Amino acid sequence: MVLVPPEIKIPVEERLFSLVLALLATENGLTKTEILSTVQGYRQAFNRSGENANLERKFERDKDDIRELGVPLETVQAPGDPGNNQNLRYRIPRGAYELPAEISFSAEETTLLNLAAMVWREGSLSAESRRAMLKLSSLGVAADEPVIGYAPRLRVRDAAFDPLNAALGRHERVRFAYLKPGEAESRVREVDPHALVQHQGRWHLYAAEAGTGILKTYLLRRIVGKVATTGTIFDAPEGDPSARALLELEDVWNDNTAIVEAEPGSDAATRLAKRRGTVVIDPGTLELHYSDANIFADELAGFGPEVLVISPPNLRDAVRSRLETTAADHG
């Protein structure tokens, strides 16, 4: 009898942080195989002699999430083998992620930062990360250690995540209040959770509506109040519901495009140009993809006068409404 060790589940925040840590640690970058076989969160599921397609898709999604956080992840082609995607190398140049030279700190601020750096230095490399560094070294990859100076800016999971994840593991029906944009009051939904997936840095619940069986996707940030279990157990769905959910979300993202003008050299121009799928139509004019008009309107409104939405009209109106509300609130 052969005992198979249980699968170790690594939180997505830890996986993203470990990935950034590894890509900051080497000047020449890492290949996809080196990343998947050594970085915490990937290596646990890496199959050295088999299929790793699911793991590669996870890495592709993580790259998008990291870039959306403002991390300048670069792709470098192998000098002797251009065009071969298997030999592409990935890295995060420290110079592009450091503070601009014109930013300075007072003596008091410098003292506080030095104290924070001392604390960070002690905890920046976990035991798992150090083991990964040793593995990278054994592959002949030069790593600069210690890796400090990077403070993770990762999103905290929504409050609904843990109870939904627990119900998902038990195949138990749940009930929660859900507030859709434009509605004054939330409505109670009762669903059978099929999958929890992250798309564009946000968590979604893919679930079957109780009574009808219709599959819908719910954004966790719009769940208000507590998630309650009903005690009803349902049969596990067939196939891979996570893959179906991500495919549907990706279709929505592909179908929704916006044309915006961003002030050249501004924070908006820099950040929006780094979004996945961005097309530069003209200097200062960008074509952008988005999944949710209301969330995207919040993001664009946060740039203030640096951004002007050209189309579509509903997105332009949503951004204008947010700016007008902000102006009214501040007199």
What would the two tokens of residue 288 be? Answer: 């952008």
The predicted structure's pLDDT at residue 195: 93
The answer on pLDDT for 156 being more than 80 is no
The predicted structure's pLDDT at residue 190: 96
The predicted structure's pLDDT at residue 321: 92
User: Which residue type occupies 171?
Assistant: H
User: Which residue type occupies 238?
Assistant: E
- The predicted-structure confidence for 226-252, as pLDDT tens digits, reads as follows 999 999 999 989 888 999 999 999 999
Lowest mean pLDDT among 14-23, 78-87, 195-204, 318-327: 78-87
CA distances 162 to 15, 24, 217, 272, Å, are 18, 31, 17, 31
Mean pLDDT across 117-127 = 49
**All residues at 6 or more sequence positions from 230 whose CB lies less than 8 Å from its CB, including other chains:** 172, 173, 174, 175, 190
Mean pLDDT across 212-225 = 93
The residue with tokens 């929505």 is 252
Strand 257-262 with 30-31, pairing: unpaired
Give the gyration radius of the chain's Cα atoms: 22
pLDDT band, residue 326 (cuts 50/70/90): confident
The predicted structure's pLDDT at residue 29: 84
- Expressed in percent and rounded to 5, the helix, strand and coil fractions of the chain are 40, 20, 35
CA distance 36 to 55: 7
CA distance 172 to 320: 42
Mean pLDDT across 173-188 = 91
Strand partners, 30: 90
3-class secondary-structure state, position 296 = helix
Q: Is 104 exposed, middle or buried (0-12, 13-18, 19+ CB in 10 A)?
A: exposed
CA distances 6 to 3, 44, 45, 276, 295, Å, are 9, 10, 11, 35, 38
Count, residues in the chain: 331
What domains, with CATH codes, occur in the chain?
12-138 (no CATH), 161-249 (2.30.30), 256-329 (no CATH)
Strand 74-76 with 172-178, pairing: unpaired
256 in Cβ contact with 291 (< 8 Å): yes
The answer on pLDDT for 302 being more than 70 is yes
Lowest mean pLDDT among 13-17, 92-96, 101-105: 101-105
Mean pLDDT across 168-178 = 94
The predicted structure's pLDDT at residue 153: 39
CA distance 143 to 131: 12
Between 224 and 65, the more confident residue is 224
Strand 215-219 with 223-233, pairing: unpaired
The predicted structure's pLDDT at residue 150: 40
